[in-house]
A and B are shown apart, each in its own frame.
Chain A
Amino acid sequence: MEHTTINLNLKVWRQKNAEDKGQFENYKAENISTEMSFLEMFDVLNEKLINEGQDPVAFDHDCREGICGMCSMHINGRAHGPWSGTTTCQLHMRAFKDGETITVEPWRAKAFPVLKDLTVDRSAFDRIQQAGGYVSVNTGNAQDGNALPIDKKNADASFDAAMCIGCGACVAACKNSSAMLFTSAKVSQYALLPQGQPERTTRVMNMVAQMDKEGFGACTNTGACEAECPKEISISNIARLNREYLNAQLSL
């Protein structure tokens, strides 16, 4: 691809700390290579801010290869920007036009309070996971792999659910700030495997209870989560969660 550079106007949410009210600031990002990632563009901006003695924009990132789920940014109204099935770190600047104004906001949800600028606290997800996202394993030697027959279809569906990287885009994209896609992926991943059976009913009850406690909204099936999920987790997992929950309620 031909190498070009573009100039952009950025409108970025700045907020000193969790208590600060926060506001948008305008920045110019100049000579940005279209082959850069969105985060690299922010690196360039931050270099400039540091050189000018200003506070750089705080944002979360870690792997920068689309697997850790840290890079939460709401770009022009879209979680992780305009490309579907993509994290912010995998979003490239060729997605934007020269001279474009890009608005960058943090995830907005009561359960994800802003810590600073674009960084939000997503520990609510950790607590949902801790409430039931585990399996009990007996001590001793590992069992022979072939001793546990698993239907290929279930193994695939479980693996698809396990693709969730806990990025929070589903919550950010949902008009209700619902965490159903995340929670359903975590519940499905175990419900479909024999290893997940011992805690099957308590898992779904506990994880949903924790999800409600954290202040996430309820699902109204708009499907925005599925459209924005970088790992393309399907809302069929939410239906599975609803089934599991109904079954658990009836069986407890």
Chain B
Amino acid sequence: MAFTGIFLILFLIVHSVANSCIFLNDSGETYNAVAHFLSHNWIVRFLEIGLFVGLFAHIIQGIMLTLANNSKRPIKYAVNAGNATSKWYSRSMGILGSLLLLFLVIHLKDFFIGTKIALYSGDAPHNLFEEMKEEFSNPIVVGVYVLGVVALCWHLIHGFSSAFQTIGINNPKYNPLIKTAGIVYSLIVCIAFAMMPIAFYLGWIS
């Protein structure tokens, strides 16, 4: 979980930085250029296969881990400690992950498939910026995206520091740094993502 998780954490940096080009407010010129570069560069194409392999592995590992762990206590407690001994989001990675998977299906259907069809079927330049603008004019879509990003944020806050612990990095000198970095990273990435549909919807970007 940790290695694939770290890989996905790194991917999200690229994804959020590239998408943040929409905030330049230049009618998506820079953003479309970046999107065009990413979808036509063979190194990126190759890395994309790695991304799907990593993502798939993370999902399969997560499902197997959750199912196995859930079977280890056949008779449950009548009273649970709840938040007294651990954080709710650290106990809810399976549920948060499932929400993210649902969101991911919607997200890929919205943007990924269309892009690929445009890439392989015709030579008409695909205007991803316009597509985003159109998608995010629907308040329901905006709501779904913001909820997806909120789930992502909690998933990342636990996942970031948890990944370090799993690969054996735990040192009193650096633990506060890892924890803070995890929270800062999760907040920056997720606020950037959440602002995209909101900004389009409210007409801040045109």
Which residues in A have some Cβ–Cβ distance to B below 8 Å? 11, 24, 74, 76-79, 103, 105, 108-111, 173, 175-178, 215-224, 227-228, 235-236, 238-240, 242-243, 246
Which residues in B have some Cβ–Cβ distance to A below 8 Å? 65, 68-69, 71-82, 84-87, 90-91, 93, 158, 161-162, 165-172
Q: How far does the Cβ of B115 sit from chain A's closest Cβ, in whole Å?
A: 35
Q: Which residues of B contact A236 (CB under 8 A)?
A: 170-172
Report if A76-B165 is in contact (Cβ < 8 Å); known contacts: A110-B72, A220-B69: no
Q: Which residues of B contact A176 (CB under 8 A)?
A: 69, 72
Q: Which residues of B contact A24 (CB under 8 A)?
A: 78
Decide: A216 and B72 in contact? CB cutoff 8 A: yes
Decide: A218 and B69 in contact? CB cutoff 8 A: yes
Report if A217-B72 is in contact (Cβ < 8 Å); known contacts: A76-B79, A103-B79, A227-B86: yes
Report if A110-B79 is in contact (Cβ < 8 Å); known contacts: A236-B170, A242-B165, A242-B166: no
Decide: A223 and B73 in contact? CB cutoff 8 A: no
Q: Which residues of B contact A111 (CB under 8 A)?
A: 72
Interface centre among B90, B165, B172 (most CB of A within 10 A): B165
Decide: A77 and B77 in contact? CB cutoff 8 A: yes
Q: How far does the Cβ of A112 sit from chain B's closest Cβ, in whole Å?
A: 10
Q: How far does the Cβ of A91 sit from chain B's closest Cβ, in whole Å?
A: 15
Q: How far is the CA of A8 from the CA of B93 in the complex (A)?
A: 38
Decide: B165 and A238 in contact? CB cutoff 8 A: yes
From the candidates A77, A79, A173, A239, name the one contacting B165 in the complex (CB within 8 A).
A239
Report if A217-B167 is in contact (Cβ < 8 Å); known contacts: A108-B77, A228-B85: no
Q: How far is the CA of A227 from the CA of B74 in the complex (A)?
A: 23
Q: How far does the Cβ of B80 sit from chain A's closest Cβ, in whole Å?
A: 5
Interface centre among A24, A76, A220, A228 (most CB of B within 10 A): A220
Decide: B69 and A243 in contact? CB cutoff 8 A: no
Decide: A222 and B86 in contact? CB cutoff 8 A: yes
Decide: B77 and A105 in contact? CB cutoff 8 A: yes
Not counting A74-B79, A227-B85, A228-B81, a sample of 19 additional A-B residue pairs whose C-beta atoms are within 8 angstroms of each other reads A77-B80, A77-B84, A78-B84, A103-B79, A110-B72, A175-B86, A177-B69, A217-B68, A217-B69, A220-B93, A221-B158, A221-B162, A221-B165, A227-B84, A239-B165, A240-B170, A242-B165, A246-B167, A246-B168
Q: How far does the Cβ of A100 sit from chain B's closest Cβ, in whole Å?
A: 13
Decide: B86 and A235 in contact? CB cutoff 8 A: no
Decide: B85 and A78 in contact? CB cutoff 8 A: yes
Q: Which residues of B contact A223 (CB under 8 A)?
A: 85-87, 90
Q: How far is the CA of A103 from the CA of B80 in the complex (A)?
A: 11
Q: How far does the Cβ of B79 sit from chain A's closest Cβ, in whole Å?
A: 4
Decide: A235 and B170 in contact? CB cutoff 8 A: yes
Decide: A173 and B81 in contact? CB cutoff 8 A: yes
Decide: B76 and A175 in contact? CB cutoff 8 A: no
Q: How far does the Cβ of B98 sit from chain A's closest Cβ, in whole Å?
A: 15
Q: How far is the CA of A105 from the CA of B77 in the complex (A)?
A: 7
Q: How far does the Cβ of A205 sit from chain B's closest Cβ, in whole Å?
A: 15
Q: How far is the CA of A228 from the CA of B65 in the complex (A)?
A: 23
What are 6 pairs between A and B in contact, CB < 8 Å?
A: A77-B84, A78-B81, A220-B93, A235-B170, A240-B168, A242-B167
Q: Which residues of B contact A11 (CB under 8 A)?
A: 78
